[in-house]
């Protein structure tokens, strides 16, 4: 059974609108991450969290907020969606520091029109 789930799996949003992407994990992991994937760029880290009620900025946080209300849930919020935020978004979780494998969700395809 999938241990990292994302919702919605796809979304079309209008420019300037608010978008919330949700992620839920049942791995009992402390660390959770949000990445975006663009063709030719691999995955880039937007925000991450290592404990509930705390989030950290990744490499490309501008235009995004994150929320970690519980160990299991991690949300990515686009307050004012823009065309440049059209991408596939992946959530991931990992057990902790060191050489820990990250477990990825299935991705959310976001199209901003």
Partner 1 sequence: GEQVEQLPSSLIVQEGASVLINCSYTDSASVYFPWYKQEPGKRLQFIIDIRSNMERKQNQRLTLLFDKKTKHLSLHITATQPGDSAIYFCSARGSALGRLHFGAGTQLIVIP
Which span (13-21, 42-50, 69-77, 78-86) binds partner 1, by CB under 8 A?
42-50
Binding mask 82-101 for partner 1 (x = CB under 8 A): --------x-x-x-xxxxxx
* Residue 45 is a binding residue for partner 1 (CB under 8 A): yes
Cα–Cα distance measured from residue 22 to residue 99, given in angstroms and rounded to the nearest whole number: 26
* Residue 50 is a binding residue for partner 1 (CB under 8 A): yes
* Residue 42 is a binding residue for partner 1 (CB under 8 A): yes
From residue 29, alpha-carbon distances to 62, 70, 71, 102 in Å are 26, 11, 7, 10
CB of 42 to partner 1, least distance (A): 4
Using CA atoms of 6, 12, 16, 19 in order, give the dihedral in degrees to the nearest 10: -20
Instruction: Classify residue 77 by burial, with Cβ atoms within 10 Å: 0-12, 13-18, 19+.
Output: middle
CB of 61 to partner 1, least distance (A): 13
Of 8, 28, 106, 113, the one binding partner 1 by CB under 8 A: 106
């Amino acid at each position: 059974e999938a241990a990292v789930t994302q919702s919605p799996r796809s979304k079309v949003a209008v420019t300037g609108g608010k978008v919330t992407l949700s992620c839920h994990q049942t791995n009992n992991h402390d660390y959770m991450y949000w990445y975006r994937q663009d063709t030719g760029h691999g995955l880039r880290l937007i925000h991450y969290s290592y404990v509930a009620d705390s989030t950290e900025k990744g490499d490309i946080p501008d235009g995004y907020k994150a929320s970690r209300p519980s160990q299991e849930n991690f949300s990515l919020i686009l307050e004012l969606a823009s065309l440049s935020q059209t991408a596939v978004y992946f959530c991931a979780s990992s057990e902790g520091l060191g050489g820990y494998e990250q477990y990825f969700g299935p991705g959310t395809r976001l199209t901003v029109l």
